[in-house]
Amino acid sequence: MALPQVQRPSYLIIGAGAFGAPTALALKRAEPESEVTVVDRTPFPCPMAAGHDLNKIIRADYIDLMYMKLALKALELWRTDPLYSPHFHNIGYLYSYDEDFLKEIIARWEQLLGKGNAQSFLLDPVEARKKFNGVFEDSDWSMVTQCLYSPTAGWADSAAALQSVMQAAVDLGVRYVDNGAAKVLFGEHGNCTGAVTEDGRTLTADRTILAAGAWIPLLLAESAPDVPEIHTGERLIAVGAPMCAVKLSDEQLEKFKECPVNALLAPLAAECIPPGDKGLLKCTYDTGFSNKVYHEKSRQEMSLPPSKISQSTWSQDIPQTLKDNLKSVKNELFGGWVDDIEPESYRLCWDGFTLNQDWLICPHPKADNLYVAGGGSFHGFKFLPVIGELVVQMIKGELDEEMTKRWAWDGPREGAICPAYTPHKDLGDLS
Ligand SMILES: Cc1cc2nc3c(=O)[nH]c(=O)nc-3n(C[C@H](O)[C@H](O)[C@H](O)COP(=O)(O)OP(=O)(O)OC[C@H]3O[C@@H](n4cnc5c(N)ncnc54)[C@H](O)[C@@H]3O)c2cc1C
């Protein structure tokens, strides 16, 4: 008598960025017998991914307790897990900000760890200017009322970390396809059955997880142009922020040798990550831009990442206004002595953005077997070590109640964690 066939569960993950790659690893670890396929647009990691970058900030200073807890867990893994620790640089993080905001962060730490146990501490701006080899001596801190220093934070070499996570998944038997998904496929009853690749291959799966970052809205609109309830609408849109990479001389590198990661609230919201092995200082203008275009097939205006690859990877291809803004950001961060140092390259980095910066980690309510994992909203990368397990919990219906509510397709969207990234301008207005 023939033995009954045992069905192996199958999963298709679209996108191998900061949400997709760790989801593949977590799924294969949780269900070694399952078939897990990941499809992205290039061999991994894809240079257009927001997660594919020179570096990303890794910190647990959040004003929101839920993200602080998660970030603390992730930070511990960045420090100790051999998959992540080679990519983590624990050089500290300095917020040059507004006193009330920073005191709120300390209050959150004490709520989590107890009075007097905050992992970060307030630092008088006058003292902060003297520390760190004097690198902030000439910074424009005219609007800074307080600093906060986090000695446990730092930055990660994000492209290398993504590469390691995806490689670990492949080593466990995850299949990687690099032709890109053209469309998500729906069956007769509107249930999701997988995807079709750009070169026409059909990838079928019991469950499909859409983790395509800023490209999620495009994929859903392309897949079901006449079904608006499948589209993301305003709940998740593509938003970009400009950055520049500045090559420093040996002498300048010496000046930066004790520089922590720095975030500056005003006049221009800005961030910088000091140089690692590549000798490149990264400065980010912390403001979000939409890119509204008319999507013919679904007959709607949407914010989508530009179709030119050079407008989502390191290049010279960003509007002159943003180059000028980045020069001001660089000078504001460090003062006149960096005025002559020209950026080597620029980038508009695109993320899936939600109004209050909560993620979407949820079943799609209008298509069975389709799940969404995205909405990184400019702060998702640091969670690389923990996010895959959260997505797996969501698929199994085991996600904690608060997360289930906040990351739902129709979850609450009030109160932004970081209002600076809410897009006030469109890229089209700048060119
Ligand atoms: C300017 C900027 C600065 C940031 N700084 C930080 C920071 O310092 N710290 C931090 O924690 N976070 C930071 N973030 C946020 C972080 O980068 C994102 O939250 C995170 O990368 C989101 O992960 P994701 O998987 O949703 O998207 P991504 O990392 O963009 O990955 C999406 C993947 O989907 C793929 N994809 C797209 N379309 C298709 C398709 N049709 N078929 C198949 N695959 C597809 C892409 O190629 C890509 O690989 C920043 C983001 C930006 C934009």
Side-by-side strand order, sheet with 181-186 = 181-186, 192-197, 202-204
Q: Which of 218, 238, 214, 210 is nearest to 14 (CA)?
A: 210
pLDDT, residue 276, reads: 93
For residue 233, how many other CB atoms are within 10 A of its CB?
Answer: 14
pLDDT over 70 at 270, yes or no: yes
In this structure, whether the domain defined by 10-429 belongs to CATH 1.10.3720.10 is answered with no
pLDDT, tens digit (0-9, with 9 covering 90-100), for 345-395:
999 999 999 999 999 999 999 999 999 999 999 999 999 999 999 999 999
Choice from 84, 287, 379, 421 to test ligand 1 binding pocket (greatest atom count within 8 A of CB): 379
Query: For residues 214 and 227, what is the distance between their CA atoms, to the nearest angstrom?
Result: 20
What is the rounded CA–CA span in Å between residue 15 and residue 40? Answer: 5
Rounded CA gap, 141 and 277, in Å?
Answer: 28
Q: At what angle do helices 65-80 and 99-113 cross, to 10 degrees?
A: 70
Q: Which of 198, 178, 212 is nearest to 41 (CA)?
A: 178
For the chain, what percentages of helix, strand and coil (3-state, to nearest 5) are there?
Answer: 30, 25, 40
pLDDT band at 118 (very low <50, low <70, confident <90, very high): very high
| Atom nearest to 53 CA in ligand 1 | 17
State the average pLDDT over residues 62-71.
Answer: 97
CA of 374 to the centre of ligand 1 (A): 8
Query: Taking the mean position of all CA atoms in its chain, how far away is CA 255?
Result: 29
Instruction: Say if residue 417's pLDDT is above 80.
Output: no
**Alpha-carbon span 176 to 90, nearest angstrom:** 32
Q: What is the pLDDT of residue 29?
A: 98
pLDDT of residue 51: 97
Amino acid present at 315: S
The residues pairing with 248 across neighbouring beta strands, listed in sequence order, are none
Domain ranges within the chain, ordered by starting residue: 10-429
**Bridge partners of residue 12, in order along the sequence:** 37, 208
DSSP alpha helix (H) spans, 289-383: 320-334
Predicted confidence band at 4 (pLDDT cuts at 50, 70, 90)?
Answer: low
Q: Of all helices (H) and strands (E), which one includes residue 109?
A: helix 99-113
Please give the pLDDT value at position 47. 98
What pLDDT, on the 0 to 100 scale, is given for residue 419?
Answer: 77
* Alpha carbon distance, N-terminus to C-terminus of the chain: 71
CA of 241 to the centre of ligand 1 (A): 12
* pLDDT > 70? residue 21: yes
Query: How many residues in total does the chain contain?
Result: 431
Cα(20)–Cα(386) distance, integer angstroms:
12
57 lines ligand 1 (CB under 6 A): yes
Instruction: Quickly state the pLDDT bin for 418 (edges 50, 70, 90).
Output: confident
- Which numbered atom of ligand 1 lies nearest the CA of 182? 41
Per-residue confidence (pLDDT) for residue 234, from 0 to 100? 94
Is the pLDDT reported for residue 2 higher than 80? no
pLDDT digits (tens, 9 = 90+) for 299-355: 999 999 999 999 999 999 999 999 999 999 999 999 988 888 999 999 999 999 999
3-state secondary structure of 349: strand
Choice between 185 and 412, residue whose per-residue pLDDT is larger: 185
Q: Which of 41, 62, 309 to mutate to test the pocket of ligand 1 (most atoms within 8 A of CB)?
A: 41
| pLDDT, mean over the chain | 95
CB atoms within 10 A of CB 363: 17
Q: Vertex 232, ends 370 and 203: CA angle to 5°?
A: 35
Question: How far is it, in rounded angstroms, from Cα 247 to Cα 282?
Answer: 9
Please name the helix (run of DSSP H) or strand (run of DSSP E) that holds residue 108, with its range, or none: helix 99-113
Query: Cis ω on the peptide bond leading into residue 45 (within 30° of 0)?
Result: yes
∠ CA 340-282-119 to the nearest 5 degrees? Answer: 125
Residue 415 has a pLDDT of: 78
pLDDT band at 6 (very low <50, low <70, confident <90, very high): low
| Confidence check: pLDDT of 202 > 90 | yes
For the CA of 374, the nearest atom of ligand 1: 26
**Residue 321 has what pLDDT?**
96
Taking 60 as the threshold, does the pLDDT of residue 27 lie above it? yes
What's the CA gap between 321 and 360, in Å, rounded?
32
Question: What are the structure tokens assigned to 237, written together?
Answer: 């849109």
**What's the pLDDT at 357?**
93
Residue 110 has pLDDT above 80, yes or no: yes
